[in-house]
Structure 1
Amino acid sequence: MEESPESFPIRIHEQGGNNPQYIDDDNLVDSIVRRLEQITPNMSQAPICRVVSTIRDVKPSVYEPQMISIGPYHHGKERLQEMEELKLAFLADFLTRNPKKDLAACISKIREHEERIRNCYADGLRMLDSDSVVGIITIDGCFLVELIIVVSGKAEPGSWARSMVWRFDDIVSDLFLLENQVPFFVLEEIWKTLDCDLAIEADDVLGFRPLRDAGDVNLLNLFIGLAVEYSSIGLPTLDDNSPLEITQQPHHLLDLLHSIIFPRWTPPDDIYTVVNTSHIPCAVELKRKGLKFAKAEHTLNDAFLSFSDRVISMPSVYIFDDTTPQLRNLIAYEQSILEVDYKISSFAAHVDDLIETAADVAVLRESGILHCGLGSDIEIANLVNELGKGVSINRMNVVCGDINKYYNSKKVAWKAELKQNYFSSPWQATAVLAAAFLLLMTIIQTIFAVLSYTRSNPG
């Protein structure tokens, strides 16, 4: 367990006394200096960090690896020890592919970058010594490179790779957790040491699903294929067959997944400006006011919501059993690093607005927007309601303002009330029209009776 930074020395004043029992400015200065030395200079910008408690506490298990640890944060946990032997076996297979590179060369390469590696973690890994950091990163990095070589079918798999096929989906799920990462540049450095031909296709691919061809055979393209094929986030961008271009090296695999969905952005100067983000009513209430929902052609990369001519358009949303961990970790990542846009956080917030109960789920599903693989609409509503907890977004969506303006219109409210009270069903509408017809006939009859009486009594 990580130790907390040294705290201040606390001394108690004597009861009723004018002077403190203990005064020692030098000791206090030394204490604060020691605490300052434990602070990592770039902790607010480090791409790998622990999930903040406000988000973690909603559902802690989705942020922790269930099968395999990658990187230092969950290394050594007893329930993950079984896979440590698998990682060592993959390391052995990787070294076999590199007859000119022994383990000492790999360790030396990683040690050259130790300071840069530490700077990638928010706490600077200050509780780990040099050998621990280099050892963990070397084994886990070589494991990931060997894994992608085998899964992509670029080389014949070793015997240990055959034993993990049935667990591969669970292993991949753990690769996209915020706290379970190694810097991507480390994987690139290890990749550069390879001394074998990866341009051919292996005869035995062990039944792995074929990865999407992302272009030339390089590490980044292979991991893009893995992210697209095995991601449980059914977002339109990932279903598109158009070429995927990642212009910048990702920080790690979770960042790669986020970059596939959204490109990297440059933070605006007013990033810390507090903005009151508009909430919108739930789907049932919006439908009651005459608004309709439609599946949009655009993706989340363009906009989550659009509103025109009483129609709210939004991309398809896919929610399955294994969607939650990746979605929650993407949200946690957005909340932790400045240079990542908050679009998935906005997605969670807006879907949370739209869905309050199972009835809202039904409205979106019937509109062709929501695609679910869970047991019931109530389960989906509960899952979505949890997504937005602890999540903050710092930008106003003007579409929400337009929706609320229409929703709060008195004219719209009057029409909605009229429709709900008198035209909510064909039978009710027929009854209202019949009553109106009878009333009209009664009025006409009364008018004719009055006219007839007037003519018969002119004086």
Structure 2
Amino acid sequence: MAGDREDVIIEMKFPTEISKGIPNEGQLHEVMQQRLAVLPGEARKYEPLKLFRVPACFREANKVMYEPLEVSIGPYYQGRESLRSMEKYKWKVLRDFLSRNPDVGLDVYLLETKKLEADTRKWYGESISLGSDEFVMMLVLDGCFIIEYFLKRQNSEFDAFFGVAGWSVKSDLLLLENQIPFFVIHKLFSVHESLNAECNENCSLLELVVKYLPASDTFTRSKPPCKEINHLLHLFYWYLTFNATKIHSIISTPEEYGTFSGIESRYSWLESTGKDVKQEDITIPCVTKLHEAGVKFRLKKNFSHYFDITFKNGIIEMPLNVLNKPWCRLLTNIVTFEQNLPMQFRIGTSYAQLMDLLVNNEKDVVLLEKKGLIENWLGSEEAAAAFCNQLGSCGILDIGNHYFLDFMKDLRAYARLPWPRYRAKLMHDYFSNPWSLISILAAGLLLILTVVQTYYTISHA
């Protein structure tokens, strides 16, 4: 019940003596002690937030990346005026969902969801003001909306509303602040399918959802246990980084989250943690300057994860990056989602900061487009460069924990070799524009003609 929640905030009502500046130590001690007693968790034990608000320092710079455009999921945007049309439409979606299995009545969904209310409230990073009935109704409406959305996709059922707002709805479902716990969705789906709530490796809900996540064709076919998934964005993150880290296995386990026992040894990139790393170690030239220095760029077709960028023998290889509005929103939310993870596991944040270094302006974007590494759907190269630059400012990362630390060190070492440096200077000073090239060719041709003329003059003398 809502009244039994552990996260109830005790209102600070101070006695008259305290408000007038006359201390009453006994009463003050009692009020503060009550406030401490209802705090969730244990002292000095790190417990990650599961469903939290985007920090203001990131939100204010780019609200459109974090706020839903069409549909509100969960309590944070409940009742927003701009989303009211979809709130009304959720009832039609609920009716469609219930009609798929008439043997299961609405009362069953409400009863099973009611059992999850107390646990669900604890997952949010702030106290939820909705009453018990309102909260449960929201969970049922939103959870069934999500399931029905994917069922319509699976069955190729045309829906006019989803058709009009298709990409924005899909994008909204993966926003950090627009989530409900995955165990709520799983419970509703289990009731609908008349299955046990326990998840197994052949979970049909995961099979349904993953198929229609962005870039799903590149995902590994292994699936996580449902109990280890916090929400839809976390599920997508699990697949996006699966072969890079095992972050999915510790996100929902507080005791492992705090200690990381037995985890560091699995990943060579964690060994850089604690090393004496300087700012210059992660200062690398932009794409254009690297190209001038002889660095080649190639599309990596067989990559193990989305952030699989490598440098070897003077060649940078990376997967294709399709820059469109939904994908940009998703990457931004992934970087912000990682801010709740320890520094060692922020691979998306490392990627964002690497792209910020590689792309300074539109010239860098043009070059990456020519090499087939970027598809730009943002309208202009300037817009693409601006996104890469702002993405790097959406997260914080300690230098020593940068996923691409070795990559950048190797790149700097290569750029400092004599030939790449001379080549870069030659390209910048003499081949930076067509007129310089024409002048050099003309001078070379003149020199050749002069040598030929001198040779014939001497030979016929």
TM-score using structure 1 length: 0.76
What whole-Å deviation, never above 9, does each CA across 1:161-186 have from its counterpart, x for those lacking one?
Answer: 55543223322221111111111111
What whole-Å deviation, never above 9, does each CA across 1:169-215 have from its counterpart, x for those lacking one?
Answer: 32222111111111111111111212589xxxxxxxxxxxxxxxxx9
Partner of 1:218: 204
Counterpart contact for 2:307–2:348, Cα < 8 Å: no
What whole-Å deviation, never above 9, does each CA across 1:399-429 have from its counterpart, x for those lacking one?
Answer: 1011112223456434432454456665344
Counterpart contact for 2:70–2:172, Cα < 8 Å: yes
Q: Structure 2 vs 1, CA of residues 24 and 367 (structure 1 numbering), >3 Å: closer, same or farther?
A: same
In our comparison, the structure showing a higher alpha carbon Rg is: 1
**Of the candidates 116, 119, 127, which is equivalent to residue 116 of structure 1?**
119
Counterpart contact for 1:71–1:137, Cα < 8 Å: yes
Residue 109 (structure 1) shift: 0.6
Structure 1 distance, partners of 2:351, 2:141, is 36
Structure 1 distance, partners of 2:424, 2:330, is 39
**Of the candidates 262, 280, 287, which is equivalent to residue 241 of structure 2?**
262
Structure 1 stretch displaced more, 188-197 or 36-45: 36-45
Q: Structure 2 vs 1, CA of residues 273 and 110 (structure 1 numbering), >3 Å: closer, same or farther?
A: farther
Q: Structure 2 vs 1, CA of residues 59 and 420 (structure 1 numbering), >3 Å: closer, same or farther?
A: closer
Residue 68 (structure 1) shift: 1.1
Is 1:403 aligned to residue 411 of structure 2? yes
Structure 2 distance, partners of 1:299, 1:151, is 28
Structure 1 stretch displaced more, 272-281 or 105-114: 272-281
What whole-Å deviation, never above 9, does each CA across 1:359-379 have from its counterpart, x for those lacking one?
Answer: 111121112211111222111
Structure 1 stretch displaced more, 338-347 or 109-118: 338-347
Structure 2 distance, partners of 1:316, 1:127, is 44
Partner of 1:84: 87
Residue 345 (structure 1) shift: 1.9
**Of the candidates 416, 419, 428, which is equivalent to residue 424 of structure 2?**
416
Structure 2 distance, partners of 1:435, 1:28, is 94
Q: Structure 2 vs 1, CA of residues 26 and 299 (structure 1 numbering), >3 Å: closer, same or farther?
A: farther
Structure 1 distance, partners of 2:89, 2:286, is 48
**Of the candidates 66, 70, 75, which is equivalent to residue 78 of structure 2?**
75
Counterpart contact for 2:289–2:424, Cα < 8 Å: no
Partner of 1:347: 351
Counterpart contact for 1:46–1:119, Cα < 8 Å: no
Residue 307 (structure 1) shift: 1.5
Partner of 2:4: none
Partner of 1:180: 178
Partner of 1:248: 225
Structure 1 stretch displaced more, 379-388 or 30-39: 30-39
Gaps of 5+ in 1: 12-19, 198-214, 449-459
Structure 1 distance, partners of 2:368, 2:224, is 35
Greater share of residues in helix = 2
Is 1:104 aligned to residue 90 of structure 2? no
Partner of 1:142: 144
Partner of 2:441: 430
Counterpart contact for 2:150–2:208, Cα < 8 Å: yes
For 1:165, give the aligned amino acid. Answer: G
Gaps of 5+ in 2: 1-7, 196-200, 251-256, 265-269
Residue 335 (structure 1) shift: 1.7
Q: Structure 2 vs 1, CA of residues 418 and 356 (structure 1 numbering), >3 Å: closer, same or farther?
A: closer
* Partner-residue secondary structure (3-state), 1:368: coil
Partner of 2:330: 326
Q: Structure 2 vs 1, CA of residues 375 and 48 (structure 1 numbering), >3 Å: closer, same or farther?
A: same
For 1:244, give the aligned amino acid. Answer: R
Counterpart contact for 1:279–1:353, Cα < 8 Å: yes
For 1:32, give the aligned amino acid. Answer: M
1:197-236 equivalences under 5 Å are 218-227=204-213, 231=214
Partner of 1:208: none
Residue 435 (structure 1) shift: 7.8
Structure 1 distance, partners of 2:318, 2:193, is 48
**Of the candidates 136, 155, 171, which is equivalent to residue 153 of structure 1?**
155
Structure 2 distance, partners of 1:422, 1:339, is 44
Partner of 1:209: none
Counterpart contact for 2:343–2:397, Cα < 8 Å: no
Structure 2 distance, partners of 1:64, 1:343, is 23
Partner of 2:51: 48
Structure 1 stretch displaced more, 346-355 or 90-99: 90-99
**Of the candidates 150, 172, 189, which is equivalent to residue 187 of structure 2?**
189
Structure 2 distance, partners of 1:66, 1:341, is 30
Partner of 1:453: none
Structure 1 distance, partners of 2:170, 2:306, is 28
Is 1:93 aligned to residue 72 of structure 2? no
Residue 5 (structure 1) shift: 8.4
* Partner-residue secondary structure (3-state), 1:193: helix
Q: Structure 2 vs 1, CA of residues 404 and 5 (structure 1 numbering), >3 Å: closer, same or farther?
A: farther
Q: How many residues align?
A: 405
Structure 1 distance, partners of 2:416, 2:65, is 38
For 1:143, give the aligned amino acid. Answer: F
* Partner-residue secondary structure (3-state), 1:371: strand
Counterpart contact for 2:241–2:307, Cα < 8 Å: no
Q: Structure 2 vs 1, CA of residues 333 and 340 (structure 1 numbering), >3 Å: closer, same or farther?
A: farther
Structure 1 distance, partners of 2:344, 2:131, is 31
For 2:412, give the aligned amino acid. Answer: N
Is 1:307 aligned to residue 314 of structure 2? no
Counterpart contact for 1:422–1:432, Cα < 8 Å: no
Structure 2 distance, partners of 1:302, 1:84, is 34
Structure 2 distance, partners of 1:423, 1:146, is 58
Counterpart contact for 2:75–2:128, Cα < 8 Å: no
Residue 224 (structure 1) shift: 0.8
Partner of 1:382: 386
Partner of 1:26: 26
Residue 63 (structure 1) shift: 0.8
Residue 38 (structure 1) shift: 6.2
